[in-house]
Structure 1
Amino acid sequence: MGRKSLKEVRQKETVEAFYQVAKKEGLENASLAKVAKEMGVNTSLVLHYFGSKNELIYGLIDFIMKRYKSLYSIKDDVNTGDSHLEQVLNNLFSREWNEVVEDGVFYGCFTLAFKDEKIKAAFKELHENLRSLLVQAIEDAKKNGEVDVEDSAEAADLIYILVEGAYYYLSLYEQNEAYYKKQEKYKQAAWNILKMNKQ
């Protein structure tokens, strides 16, 4: 694999700075000038790599997808005996998953999907990519006799609906004992979809 170009490095740095500004001030208040200030550069440099705030938002959605994908890059845990699928589901229903991307930034981007077809398409691609990773994990588990499900894609879709609904709902609550009990209950429901009981 070759070295990343200066453009790729600068674009990555700019998107990360945009994410930090959006976390602090809200996506609606994030501007190219504020991103430049966060980076300690002139606004013209940000404009050189991203011609508009919308272009930065497209980059941010890709950034979000890569952060979520990182929770799939795991191997069987020799210490716990957990398989790849078990670890994936543990990640999906975990504090780590919930904190990979700050809720305000994620939902701020998502609301723009109702106004901008390109952002809507980017969000659809994000969700389809994440579902395809779960489909592959389920397929691998089927081959190992770990789960018993006919349609891996349908199971992955239902599990993601459960995940997304759970975090939308749980984002309204403090992370206390009741929160984690609900989280575990939703994870068990995901295992039930896969027809394998995990306690």
Structure 2
Amino acid sequence: MGRRSLKDARQKEIIEVFYQIAKQEGLENASLAKTAELAGMNPSLIIHYFKTREQLVYGLIEFILDRYLQIFSVPASPNSTPKTVLLKIIDNVFSRKWNVLFDDSVSYSCYALALRDETIAGRYRQLLETLRKNMEQYIRACKKEGLLQVVNPAATADLVFVLVDGAYYYLSLVKEEEEYTAGLKRYKKQAIALLNFV
């Protein structure tokens, strides 16, 4: 999909440390110097991989995507069908599994930067489009098997993620576990209704 690879182990390690600082202190307080200190590295090594803090934020957005894509990992079983796999993904998306993959405050901070920085906006859009494209593939597989009736798999995948994004944005403000769980169930039910299974 044209994403920059994070294969370099050192680079990934730096991004993970930067993420931990952003999670604990807020993205606005995460810096190259703090990252070097926590990682036990010379600051010049951080700068070797990431010339600026902005480049480190770009890497962080790649890291977000890599984490979020884990939600599509459904263990294969002899009884797996396109429908059971898609329903398991929907379960994952509307569960704590999705929510704990990446810290909401860091994700929303990155999103806020996207409103002011064209490069970050482009990378964030790519992140969101990748998630939708993955969902679309599973919807298409079900449609091909005649398991659901949707006119436009891409539009349906988009609507599912509109529900997901809105659900987590709203539920991030809910403190009661019972209310949070009820909300997730309600939104999941709406997402399944959008899929129009036969």
Aligned to 1:148: 149
Percent of residue pairs identical: 45
Following the alignment from structure 1 to structure 2, what is the Cα–Cα distance between the partners of residues 126 and 23?
19
The alignment partner of 1:142 has SS state of helix
Alpha-carbon RMSD across the aligned residues, in angstroms, is 1.8
Once the two structures are superposed, the pairs formed by residues 38-77 of structure 1 within 5 Å of their partners are 38-77=38-77
Higher mean C-alpha deviation, range 141-150 or range 178-187: 141-150
1:16-55 matched pairs, under 5 angstroms: 16-55=16-55
What stretches of structure 2 of length at least 5 have no aligned partner? 1-6
- The equivalent residue for 1:171 is 172
**Normalising by structure 2, what TM-score?**
0.91
Shift of the 59–83 alpha-carbon distance from structure 1 to 2, 3 Å rule, reads same
Task: List structure 1 runs of 4+ shifted beyond 6 angstroms.
Answer: 79-82
Over 3 Å counting, the alpha-carbon distance change for 1:151 and 1:80 in structure 2 is: closer
On the 8 A contact 1:148/1:194 being kept in 2, the answer is: yes
Which residue number in structure 1 is paired with residue 4 of structure 2?
Answer: none
Q: Which runs of 5+ in 1 are unaligned?
A: 1-6
How far the C-alpha of 1:144 sits from its partner, in A, is 2.5
User: How many Å apart are 1:99 and its aligned residue?
Assistant: 1.2
Q: Distance in 2 between matches of 1:164 and 1:129?
A: 14
Is the contact between residue 36 and residue 42 of structure 1 (CA under 8 Å) also seen in structure 2?
A: yes
2:181 maps to which residue?
Answer: 180
Give the aligned partner of residue 130 of structure 1: 131
The answer to which of 166-175 and 140-149 deviates more is: 140-149
Could you tell me which amino acid in structure 1 is paired with residue 14 of structure 2?
Answer: T
TM-score of the superposed pair, with normalisation by structure 1? 0.91
For 1:79 and 1:176, locate their aligned partners in 2 and report how far apart those are by CA, in whole Å. 33
Rounded Cα–Cα distance in structure 1 between residues aligned with 2:30 and 2:164: 28
Aligned length: 191
Q: Distance in 1 between matches of 2:36 and 2:176?
A: 34
CA distance in 1, matches of 2:52, 2:108: 20
